[in-house]
Structure formats: structure tokens, C-alpha cells
Amino acid sequence: MSSPTTSSSILPGAPQLAYRPDGLYLEEVNLDALARKHGTPLFVYSKAAMLAALAAYQQGFAGRNAQICYAMKANSSLGVLQVFARAGCGFDIVSGGELERVLAAGGEVGKVIFSGVGKTRAEMKQALAAGIGCFNVESEAELAVLSEVALSMSKIAPVSIRVNPNVDPKTHPYISTGLKGNKFGVAHEDALRIYKYAASLEGLKVVGIDCHIGSQITEATPYLDAMDRVLDLVAGIEASGIAIEHIDFGGGLGINYNEDAPPTADALWRELLAKLDARGYGGRKLMVEPGRSLVGNAGVCLTEVLYLKPGEQKNFCVIDAAMNDLPRPAMYQAFHAIVPVVQQRATSSAVYDVVGPVCESGDWIGRDRTLAVAAGDRLAVLSAGAYCMSMASNYNTRGRAAEILVDGTQAHLIRARETAADTFRGEKLLP
């Protein structure tokens, strides 16, 4: 870490992020200059990286009838949604709030699908009134309520039922969703009966089937297994006279955080489409709901080193970003690479736990990292485009960070830094 490298990408899978002699760049933008201008912590995203990630899916589906619905929970900032809306994506939403964001960003409501185990009646009404494309229903009880709500509005709700294929995605237990013990979807063995029930309800029209087995999946096998299980169900459901117009395989494809080697979206889909073709479903309308793989490696979080705190057992590098900005290490023991924004020639390196200012021992961003840093230096936390800002909180009354979207040489501020006053707007003093 002692001598500056010339323009080379530092994270496989993130070619828009590279060192030049004067520091780290995202596309054509010098990140140190950006941090000086806007302050830290600062999220910076590359539009080109998002569109390149999307292009991998588009290539994978070339010539097919496929709809890509960006799972916006990964990063729901309006500027990010605009990039995907303008590129023709639909959206996978999980709340009425997310629907409002799609509308505010100019997304096409007919391409919105609504997932989640706990949709309220108010959210169902809102989505029906807006005219969303499909409800991905997760239980019998929800089917009954949705039908009732739709009839009360003299509407018919388009539905898909999320089936739980009971395959192991081999990922962190908190982000594994397709196993029997998970709260998501309906059990494979109950699916046919529940489809018949859905078809019997007057306020519903069955249009599809969906599954989602987990997140940060780094191999093709769980997808291939899930596809087999879902296609078996489609055959059974259609044999009972219920047409399935589209098949939705969910999201979940992983990204490279460290030494992960997930397949690319086009390689994965070449393999999956071969199975689909072999089983005679290749001409069917297909849907996917990728989140992390579209935005995760398109973003970094810039932060400043506040203090170095050497210790007997550990050296701490205290930065100005914390678990409220970057919750994944605290929640999932997740790894994010941390690199200097400007590579220092002279400073000697040491091993640090990189921690934030929040009053919790769980507030660490990286453990045992070798860094050559001094107070005042800036660091970049990599792979911070997905599930960081969208999961950020105001814990410790820390305002959420600002966000920049980079497009070539342009840097657009897409979210202003939250002030303390912003964090308590809406609160009321006692009389």
C-alpha cells in the first residue's frame, strides 16, 4: 500500500472505480475533490456501473420476453430509480412508500410488482388505484384480503403467488428466504391447492408465479434447483386449468465484496434459459427482481479518518461513517473493502479495526484491516451501493449522508446531507 498505482480498477466487477496518480476516481470524477466539496460521509454512485450491470441482464435475456424489475429496497434514492426507469426497468416494491418513490421518479406503474408478507389494506388500495402490474402474494390470508379490497374498489387484482421452493441458497441465514423455516412464500406442497383457491376468488386474476430464494447467492445451482421446483408446479397448476402467464425467478444474484466469484448475470441466465428451453418454457414471459447485483458495486461511501487510537490488543481507526450509514457489518458481519482515497507514499501501515462514532461495540465497518493512514485522510468503503443508504438510520441523531450520482465528468447531488433539524422534524414538544 505504499506506492500509487496508475489507473487500474481496484475491485473486480467495478471497472468504473480506479486509481489515478492523484487518487481514486469513479468514472471521470476525483473522489477526494468530491469529498472536500460535499463533506463526509458521502455516498457516490456510478451511473455507468448501474447501466453496465443492467446490460448484463439485458444481454442474458436478449430475444426473450423478459421484464427486469429492479428490487428497489437495495437502493431507493430517487436519482437511482430514475436511472433504471429511464432504462425501461420495472420495479419490485415492498411498501406503499416504495410505490410513491417509483411514481416520484417517473417509473412505469404497469411494470411494478408488489412483494412482501405484510401488505396492509391501505397499501393494497393504493397499489390498485395506481394500476400496478402484479401483486406477489405470500399467503392464503393475504389472497382473501386482496380479493375483498379489489372488489370493494370494483377492480380485479392481478396476482402471482410466491412459492417457497425449499432450496438452500447457501448464503447468510438472515438473507436466505427460500427454505422451509422462512416466513416467505407458500410451501411447495400447498401451492396447487392455494392456486385453486386464488382462482376461485372473484376479485383476483392469476397471472403468474414467483419465487425468491435469498440474497448474495454466488452459484448457479440453487437457481437451477429452484427453477426445476417452480416449473414442476407450473405444469401441475396449468394441468388444473389455471393459466400462468409469467414466471418470476426473483433476485438474489451476489456481487464481489471480497473474493466472491458469483456468475455474471448473462452467464447465469444462459444456464437457466437452457433449462427453461429444455423443459419447454423458453417462450414464457419471464421476470426477475435483481437488487444488489444492479447497484451494489456501483457505489462507494467516502469517509474521513477522525482519530487513530492505538491499543494493547487492537488499533482502532475511528472514521466519521458509522453503523447508521453502513449497517451491513453490524447486521450480517458483512465484509466491505476499505481503501484509501489518495494513496499515501510515506505513511507506514498498521492493522486496524475500522470503527464509527456510534456508541455500540457492534459499530465496526471493517476488522483487522491493514491501512497506511493518518487522521484527516479519506477512505472509501467499497460495494456500498446496495443495502447501505436504503437501510441507513438516524441512530445517535446522526443525519443521513449526502448522495452523489456520477455520470462521466458530472457529479449530481441526488440527496442533501440531513441536518439535525431534519432528523427531528415531525416531533412535538410537550405543552
Scanning 225-233, 244-252, 266-274, 310-318 for contacts with ligand LLP by CB under 6 A, the matching segment is: 244-252
Q: Which is nearer to ligand LLP, 197 or 332 (CB)?
A: 332
**Among 101, 188, 246, 292, which residue interacts with ligand LLP (rule: CB under 6 A)?**
292
The minimum distance between CB 72 and ligand LLP, in angstroms, equals 9
For the chain, how far is it from start to end, CA to CA, in angstroms?
58
Do residues 115 and 94 lie in contact, with contact meaning Cβ atoms separated by under 8 Å?
A: yes
Instruction: Find out whether the peptide bond into 41 is cis, omega within 30 degrees of 0.
Output: yes
The minimum distance between CB 352 and ligand LLP, in angstroms, equals 23
State which of positions 117-176 bind ligand LLP (CB under 6 A): 175
Give strand pairing partners of 405: 45, 412
**Among 332, 372, 393, 399, which residue interacts with ligand LLP (rule: CB under 6 A)?**
332
**Does 252 help bind ligand LLP (rule: CB under 6 A)?**
yes
Q: Which is nearer to ligand LLP, 212 or 246 (CB)?
A: 212
Q: Is 44 exposed, middle or buried (0-12, 13-18, 19+ CB in 10 A)?
A: buried
**Does 291 help bind ligand LLP (rule: CB under 6 A)?**
yes
Scanning 58-66, 197-205, 246-254, 346-354 for contacts with ligand LLP by CB under 6 A, the matching segment is: 246-254
**Among 251, 263, 366, 385, which residue interacts with ligand LLP (rule: CB under 6 A)?**
251
Q: How many CB atoms lie within 10 A of CB 261?
A: 10
The label of the residue with cell 380485479 reads: 156
Scanning 265-273, 291-299, 339-347, 375-383 for contacts with ligand LLP by CB under 6 A, the matching segment is: 291-299
b/e sequence 355-389, b meaning 16+ C-beta within 10 Å: bbbbeeeebbbbeebebbbeeebbbbbbbbbbbbb
**Among 115, 147, 166, 343, which residue interacts with ligand LLP (rule: CB under 6 A)?**
115
**Among 160, 293, 303, 383, which residue interacts with ligand LLP (rule: CB under 6 A)?**
293
**Does 290 help bind ligand LLP (rule: CB under 6 A)?**
yes
Q: Report residue 113 CA to chain centroid gap.
A: 15
Scanning 42-50, 260-268, 285-293, 396-404 for contacts with ligand LLP by CB under 6 A, the matching segment is: 285-293
**Does 74 help bind ligand LLP (rule: CB under 6 A)?**
yes
Q: Which is nearer to ligand LLP, 318 or 384 (CB)?
A: 384
- In single-letter form, the type of residue at position 64 comes to R
Q: What is the DSSP string of 64-110?
A: S-EEEEEEGGG---HHHHHHHHHTT-EEEE-SHHHHHHHHHTT--GG
The label of the residue with cell 429444455 reads: 278
**Among 98, 123, 138, 289, which residue interacts with ligand LLP (rule: CB under 6 A)?**
289
Q: Which is nearer to ligand LLP, 143 or 265 (CB)?
A: 265
x/- contact string, 387-426, with ligand LLP (CB under 6 A)?
x---------------------------------------
**Among 41, 178, 203, 250, which residue interacts with ligand LLP (rule: CB under 6 A)?**
250
x/- contact string, 195-214, with ligand LLP (CB under 6 A)?
-----------------x--
Scanning 198-206, 249-257, 258-266, 407-415 for contacts with ligand LLP by CB under 6 A, the matching segment is: 249-257
Cα 395 to Cα 49, 104, 277, distances in angstroms? 30, 27, 50
**Among 47, 328, 369, 400, which residue interacts with ligand LLP (rule: CB under 6 A)?**
328
Q: Which is nearer to ligand LLP, 216 or 303 (CB)?
A: 216
Where in the sequence numbering do the catalytic residues fall? 359
Distance CA 368, CA 354 (A): 8
Segment 118-121 long-range contacts (CB within 8 Å, at least 24 positions apart): 119/146, 120/96, 121/145, 121/149
Q: Is 6 exposed, middle or buried (0-12, 13-18, 19+ CB in 10 A)?
A: exposed
Do β-strands 157-164 and 204-210 pair in parallel, antiparallel, or remain unpaired?
Answer: parallel
x/- contact string, 35-54, with ligand LLP (CB under 6 A)?
--------------------
Cell of 381: 468503503
Q: Report residue 403 CA to chain centroid gap.
A: 16
Distance CA 237, CA 91 (A): 26
**Among 23, 42, 66, 92, which residue interacts with ligand LLP (rule: CB under 6 A)?**
92
Cell of 13: 466487477
- List of residues contacting ligand LLP (CB under 6 A): 71, 74, 92, 115, 175, 212, 215-216, 250-253, 289-293, 328, 332, 387
